[in-house]
A and B are shown apart, each in its own frame.
Chain A
Amino acid sequence: MAQHQVNYASSAGLPIALTSVDKLVNWGRSNSLWPLTYGLACCAIEMMASGASRYDFDRMGTIFRASPRQADVMILAGTLSKKHSEFARRLYDQMTEPKWVISMGSCANTGGMFNTYATVQGVDRIIPVDIYLPGCAPRPETLQYALMMLQKKIRKESADMKKNTKQDLTNQTGKRARLI
């Protein structure tokens, strides 16, 4: 963690490590990402496998929580139907800041093969997404990779969440969408 070389002899023998607040806070945040247990479809099976003993999310400090109040990450694993979209957004709103979103699988990313009236065509229409994970369904390794990419992203961010912009897509009309 130390960003500068420490000479113990010259600093009165004290174990001192110098760093910045951003680095320290992001170290804590990125190494204990607690996702919400929120499976929507078959991707949830892969998400469960990632959390179980074989792929073992726990070793990365990632423990699934059953309440949005305790969760930092929302993994949208599967097809989001229009009927359910309202509740997905409510769960996202109930999560405390700082919070991040992984869109897992083709269905969550773009609607996937469900190009129909009843499926949300990409969860980024209602929730700002940090990591898009392709695949149908993505293997547990790729979900771990997505989580590692999210850790990498968090380590690059500012500790002050107000300075970090959420996904900000400009649509065809040129207006700016800011979904907080």
Chain B
Amino acid sequence: MRKYVPKDNVQGKSYYTDRFWVAPRVPRSEVEDEHFAAVVTALGDLAKESYVEIGQLVVHIDATNNFTVLKTLKEKCGYTQCSEQSAVDYLAKDGEFELFYQLLNVNEAKRVRVVCRIKNGEAIESVEPLFKSANFAEREMFDMFGIKVNNHPFLKRIIMPDDWEGHPLLKTYPLHGDEFASWYEVDKIFGKEYRDIIGPENRDPAKVDRHDTKRFSRVGYEVPFGADISEGETEKAIEYSETLLVNYNKKASKQLDERR
């Protein structure tokens, strides 16, 4: 059980995290499966370390060998599909990115994850000639982490706008964005001089300003838009829907035929 932490003020905070929670480690086992053993043999010295995690073979390789390894897996071991390719930011811990290629063998129904590590600022060889799906995956990796890919046919941002600054999936990138991100739409549409006029973003989801009559109102104390209520406001009768709509269940107040 995780330790109970009071969450009374959790609405007032921008978000809630448990800093001391450590994700449980997935158990690793030796390569015993016949097919996986054949894969490891086929890779030979290229595989630095290999083990099985939740029924998937994980192979650690040198980043410079990535094209050779994936070519071997595709042509000799039947891994014809690259379902995912991306990176994990371990810059703070190890000063490195961990890149992974998730491969699928459709005939054997087996999956292999090829993992390699590169230093910050290093580039990786593109595997686009082997797997067409790597085209967009590598563009996304470039967009999110800033990892350059050599010999990629069209290395360009894919999710963020072309003129964006920064790489959002880096751990150092703030969730609410840096200064460039927070003014992006204002700079782009109106120009930098409008920053003062439009004002900074309100990032507080629980913000209520009782005296701000342009953004907030009180039921029963309605005032005109933008009125000054620092002196207090007068109570007004609440307009219920019965006064707006016709209530057919009530007896009509107007008698049309007086003889009845």
Contact = CB atoms under 8 A, between A and B. Distances in A.
Interface of A: 82-83, 85-86, 89, 110-111, 115-118, 120-122, 125-126, 168-173, 175-177, 179
B161 A82 contact: yes
B177 interface: yes
Contact of A117 (B14, B168, B200, B215): B168
B198 A125 contact: yes
B189 A85 contact: yes
Q: Which 9 pairs of residues, A with B, have the shortest CB-CB distance? A: A117-B177, A171-B199, A85-B185, A121-B201, A117-B181, A83-B161, A82-B184, A177-B197, A89-B189
Contacts of A176: 197
A65 B185 CA distance: 26
Contacts of A177: 197-199
22 contacts: A82-B161, A82-B181, A83-B161, A85-B185, A85-B188, A110-B202, A115-B176, A117-B173, A117-B182, A118-B168, A118-B177, A121-B202, A122-B202, A125-B201, A126-B189, A126-B190, A168-B226, A171-B199, A175-B197, A176-B197, A177-B198, A177-B199
A118 B182 CA distance: 9
Contacts of A118: 160, 168, 177, 181
B174 interface: yes
A162 B233 CA distance: 31
**Taking chain A's interface residues, is the majority helix, strand, or loop, or is none over half, making it mixed?**
loop
A173 B199 contact: yes
Given A110-B202, A117-B168, A177-B198, A125 B176 contact: no
B168 A172 contact: no
A115 B214 contact: no
Contacts of B196: 173, 175
Contacts of A171: 197-199
B14 A115 contact: yes
A110 to B, nearest CB: 7
A86 B185 contact: yes
B175 A116 contact: yes
A171 B182 CA distance: 16
Contacts of B185: 82, 85-86, 120, 125-126
B77 interface: no
B186 interface: yes
Contact of A115 (B15, B198, B215): B15
